[in-house]
Amino acid sequence: MDFREQVIYQIYPKSFYDSNNDGIGDLPGIIAKIPYLTRLNIDMIWFNPFYVSPQNDNGYDISDYYAIDPKFGTMADFEELVRRLSAHNIGVMLDMVLNHCSTEHEWFQKAVAGDKKYQKFFYIREPKANGDLPNHWTSKFGGPAWSSFGDTGKYYLHLFDSSQADLDWHNPQVRQELFRVVNFWRQKGVKGFRFDVINVIGKDEKLQDAPAGIDNKTMYTDTPIVQQYLQELNQATFGQDKQIVTVGEMSSANIESSIMYTRADQHQLNMVFNFHHLKADYQNNQKWTKPLFDFSKLKKTLNTWQLRMNQEGGWNALFWNNHDQPWALSRFGDPINYREKSAEMLATSIHLLRGTPYIYQGEEIGMINPDYRTIEDYVDVETKNAYKKLLKEGCSKQQALAIIHERSRDNSRTPMHWDASPKAGFTKGQPWLRPTGQQQINVAAELAHGEIFNYYQKLIKLRKTYPVIVQGDYHPLNLDHPQVFAYVRKYQRQVLLVFNNFFAQQTVFKIPLLYQQQPAQVLISNYHLHLTTIPSKITLRPYEAVACLI
Ligand code: TEU
Ligand code: CA
């Protein structure tokens, strides 16, 4: 099936289902939940990393690319998972973390032991003559991007945690090794790949600081050579199989590069995740601030990416949630007063845009940020660093915690709520991250009397029924409306109008003359709205979403 037609579900294995009660989700646990997964009618599942890893960054610090971490299961479990899912026409998408590996990886260990070949796998540099670090690049998780390379007096580069050493993609031997990894998993029947932070693999060869006034990130983000390396990766691995789905994870990618990364004639990737729309509640573009939702910014960002990717031949990955983000429902919806309606509105607004939609585990039951009260509840390395930094910058513990509460990546990493029991039906042991709120929000309750899961099922079914959802061009509708995100999708003679009220206040939206009085049918509505013709204006109730086909 074409990547444009698919709906992809994301599983965070550590938090999905624990089959052996050690508190950590695992592959047999996922296999046990296949009956649940098939109910949604998804086409592919992206799994966060379960390779051998010391877990300093929850598996994004890989020490063996070719083996399953025993915490998660065995290679036989993996093979069974692939087999069982493919029997239901569900493909497996794996996370390829190729920008860096764990400092416990054999390559880094050999490098530290003095092996010249492997020293060339990493960015190892002398300090400046005055003893300063080789440059002023910073780690995404806080602090400098350099740590001491053993006791050599040199430093190695890490754009993330100090246990995640960046691999030098300029070295052809490194690229060969990484392509081998992709092919290994391809031969195991994997049907998709998500490439972690893949737009930062083309570092400035001299590792220089940016000229004064320019962000150092420009020295390693979206550099032209990334495209060349992606073409090489494509050719050496998945490019040989048109069925394989690829997505580049590039949180801050610019639009011009993203068009190139995803244009079919460029032979790079199928689509990219960018995170720009998820900065709509950042103050001064800073993550570690109290959220302040700027709806107009959200809309403008989504609109720009929709329009340009459409006009210039790119393709978007569509998503609100993943394991790096607090729940969109807690940020842009109303998890207290309108949990179901706002969850459905968010789902409608994203699924009917032009691109391939992703659903993060728990989104389909309307999960929300956990109610953590102390820093000890959190596990994530980025969160812990940010907390320390906030305290250092003068925040009180209470203020720092209030920010962490809204922003931590652990918000979406809590165990899946299967039922209302104290461990949420996730484990009988001690869960690695504490579930909260499962009494109200859980799979059993949702399937018994909730409406969100059914709504997702319906959205997915629509995508398989109406080509306009997959193929249609995107056009904005009255972008300036203060509460509504509305758009039109057009394909051949089909016209789809989509209205989403992002607020708890009722509002009126005027419909352009062109569409008024046209016979139409409601494809989906979270208030069971009925219409047979398009009115001149539509009144939208709190968090109301409606899509009409003309
Ligand atoms: O994330 C990369 C990334 O840029 C972010 O989403 C990052 O988590 C965020 O900016 C921190 O504020 C990917 C993975 O999804 C993430 O889980 C890993 O920690 C990271 O790469 C390093 O591999
Ligand atoms: Ca387990």
Query: pLDDT in tens for each of the 550 residues of the chain?
Result: 999 999 999 999 999 999 999 999 999 999 999 999 999 999 999 999 999 999 999 999 999 999 999 999 999 999 999 999 999 999 999 999 999 999 999 999 999 999 999 999 999 999 999 999 999 999 999 999 999 999 999 999 999 999 999 999 999 999 999 999 999 999 999 999 999 999 999 999 999 999 999 999 999 999 999 999 999 999 999 998 989 999 999 989 999 999 999 999 999 999 999 999 999 999 999 999 999 999 999 999 999 999 999 999 999 999 999 999 999 999 999 999 999 999 999 999 999 999 999 999 999 999 999 999 999 999 999 999 999 999 999 999 999 999 999 999 999 999 999 999 999 999 999 999 999 999 999 999 999 999 999 999 999 999 999 999 999 999 999 999 999 999 999 999 999 999 999 999 999 999 999 999 999 999 999 999 999 999 999 999 999 999 999 9
pLDDT given for residue 83 in this prediction? 98
Which atom of ligand 1 is least distant from the CA of 60? 23
Whole-angstrom Cα distance, residue 439 to residue 371? 13
List residues bridging with 474 in a β-sheet. Answer: 489
State pTM to two decimals. Answer: 0.98
Per the domain annotation, does 181 fall within a domain? Answer: no
Is 260 touching ligand 1 by the criterion CB < 6 Å?
no
Q: What is the C-alpha separation between 369 and 411, in angstroms, rounded?
A: 5
Structure token pair of residue 206? 């001299």
Count of C-beta atoms within a 10 Å radius of residue 54:
15
Q: Which residues contact 174 (CB under 8 A, 6 or more apart)?
A: 120, 121, 167, 168
Are β-strands 91-96 and 146-149 bridged in parallel, bridged antiparallel, or unpaired?
Answer: unpaired
139 found inside a domain: yes
Predicted confidence at residue 251, as pLDDT, reads 87
- Cβ–ligand 1 distance for 196 under 6 Å, the answer yes
144 DSSP β-pair partners: 138
Name the residue among 549, 359, 346, 358 with its Cα closest to residue 466. 549
Residue 63 belongs to a domain: no
For 422, other C-beta atoms within 10 Å of its C-beta total 9
CATH number at residue 130: 3.90.400.10
Give the strand pairing for 44-47 and 91-96: parallel
**Any ligand 1 atom below 6 A from CB of 50:** no
Return the residue whose CA atom lies nearest to atom 3 of ligand 1.
251
Q: How far apart are CA 266 and CA 250, in angstroms?
A: 17
Give the range of the structural domain holding residue 524, as residue numbers without chain letter: 469-549
Q: Is any ligand 1 atom within 6 A of the Cβ of residue 324?
A: yes
Structure tokens at 94: 């794996």
Residue 166 in contact with ligand 1 by CB distance below 6 A: no
Ligand closest to CA 71: 2
Sign of CA dihedral 515, 518, 520, 525: positive
Q: Indicate whether 156 belongs to any domain.
A: yes
Rg over alpha carbons for the chain, rounded to the nearest Å, is: 23
Helix ranges (DSSP H) in 8-145: 27-32, 34-38, 75-86, 106-112, 116-119
Give the number of residues written for the chain: 550
Of 90, 96, 60, residue with least CA distance to 185: 96
Instruction: Single out the residue in 151, 166, 181 at which a domain terminates.
Output: 166
| 251 in contact with ligand 1, CB cutoff 6 A | yes
Query: Do 338 and 332 touch, CB atoms closer than 8 A?
Result: no
Within a domain: 143: yes
Final residue belonging to a domain, choices 136, 166, 196: 166
Whether 60 lines ligand 1, by a CB cut-off of 6 Å, is yes
Residue 362 lies in a domain: no
Task: Confirm whether 122 is domain-assigned.
Answer: yes
Which tokens go with 51? 């390779």
CB 11 within 8 A of CB 361: yes
**Ligand 1 centre from 338 Cα, in Å?**
30
Residue 71 Cα to ligand 2 middle (Å) = 6
Nearest CA to ligand 1 atom 2: 197
Query: How far does the centroid of ligand 2 lie from the alpha carbon of residue 329, in Å?
Result: 28
Say what angle helices 224-236 and 172-186 make with each other, to 10 degrees: 40
* 414/16 Cα distance (integer angstroms): 9
Q: Residue 458 Cα, ligand 2 centroid: separation in angstroms?
A: 32
pLDDT at 442: 98
197 lines ligand 1 (CB under 6 A): yes
> Can you give the pLDDT at residue 293?
98
Identify the three-state secondary structure at position 461: helix
Q: Which residue, by CA, sits nearest to atom 6 of ligand 1?
A: 324
Ligand 2 centroid to residue 77 C-alpha, Å = 13
Rounded Cα distance, 319 and 342, in Å: 15
Catalytic residues: 196, 249
Ligand 1 nearest-atom number relative to CA 323: 17
Judged by its nearest atom, the ligand closest to the C-alpha of residue 380 is 1
* Best CA proximity match to 220, nearest among 167, 180, 285: 167
Q: Are 30 and 11 in contact (CB under 8 A)?
A: yes
Query: Which one, of 208, 197, 195, 275, lies nearest residue 234 by Cα?
Result: 195
Determine the longest span between alpha carbons in the chain, in angstroms: 76
Domain assignment present for residue 110? The answer is yes
Residue 422 alpha carbon to ligand 1 centre in Å: 30
pLDDT at 144: 97
**Structural domains of the chain, count:** 2
Domain C-terminal end among 166, 184, 201: 166
Instruction: Look up the CATH number of the domain holding residue 493.
Output: 2.60.40.1180
Using most ligand atoms within 8 A of CB, pick from 61, 197, 287 the residue to mutate for ligand 1.
197
